[in-house]
Amino acid sequence: MSSKADFDELLAILDLEQRDENTFVGVHPSKNPIRTFGGQMMAQAFVAAGRTLKHAVPPSAMSVHFIAGGDPDIDLEFHVARLRDERRFANRRVDVMQKGQLITTAMVSYLAGGRGLEHAVPAPELGDPAQVAPLDELLRGYEHVVPHFANALHPIEWRYTNDPAWVMRDKGERLEHNRVWMKAHGAMPDDPVLHAAALVYSSDTTVLDSIITTHGLSWGHDRIFAVTANHTVWFHRPVRFDDWVLYSTNSPVAADSRGLGTGHFFDRSGQLLATVVQEGIVKYFPGRS
């Protein structure tokens, strides 16, 4: 399947079926990991919340806790609780269910703050994303090492500015950050909810990489178990995901078999669009690769 077809699938799974005023149903794509991809579930929950707003208030934050793994053979039910609805403030809770079991819960906040003080961390200077090798080239020869990446759905174009984990590991190097240019693999509808949902979907990719690359490890090469425990996105500015954005991530800490990945999304002009923090359970089994 082509990347354009994968992108069309992403738009299709974000087009939720509305069962009643506060209940939505989402399907899975044709390519799935063993458990539902967290980015997919978060993006669908974000869309469900956004479709219930009474006023066009921009999102300010989304915080998600993963309770149980989702079954990709079963549709997802999104139950939205309308907690607050004002012209400048809104809040939603979205409970994600399968067969009556709560598997994920998300809180989404909306705020139209208006003008005020502004500052932000600067974006890394990395040049033109069009000059960076596409993901297909970086996977060539490594399909057997990272088959879960090579065979995954690819609705978002990735362009690493550094060696990805599997190449870095092959060179015997370490890396304390990962920086990837991203954009949709097709034309996005002119809907700010979907552009932000694409960012949410993409925020669950590469964010944990720096936990293992800091130690010179890689998926596929080394025996590593990783699962997301919680994930938060703060939205600072509107995003257009049909143009290049830079996802710059690192890991400030790993302890007690848990690691923290932090990330920033920048647009091409260097404006900070969103901040991400994800906590994952990460276990490494040395000598058993």
Band the pLDDT of 4: cuts 50, 70, 90. Answer: confident
What pLDDT is stored for residue 148 in this prediction? 84
pTM, rounded to two decimals: 0.95
Give pLDDT tens digits for 222-249. 999 999 999 999 999 999 999 999 999 9
Return d(Cα 58, Cα 88) in angstroms, integer: 9
Res 1 pLDDT > 90: no
In this structure, which amino acid lies at residue 27? V
- Decide: 157 and 184 in contact? Cβ < 8 Å: yes
What pLDDT is stored for residue 289 in this prediction? 46
What pLDDT is stored for residue 288 in this prediction? 52
Q: Among the residues of 26-127, which ranges form H helices?
A: 38-50
In sequence order, what are the residues at sequence separation of 6 or more whose Cβ sits closer than 8 angstroms to the Cβ of residue 267? 237, 239, 240, 243, 244, 245, 246, 273
Res 271 pLDDT > 60: yes
Give pLDDT tens digits for 165-187. 999 999 999 999 999 999 999 99
Return d(Cα 67, Cα 230) in angstroms, integer: 9
What pLDDT is stored for residue 19 in this prediction? 97
Structural domains of the chain ordered from first start: 3-113+128-284 (2.40.160.210)
Give pLDDT tens digits for 115-151. 999 999 999 988 899 899 999 999 999 999 998 888 8
Give pLDDT tens digits for 191-208. 999 999 999 999 999 999
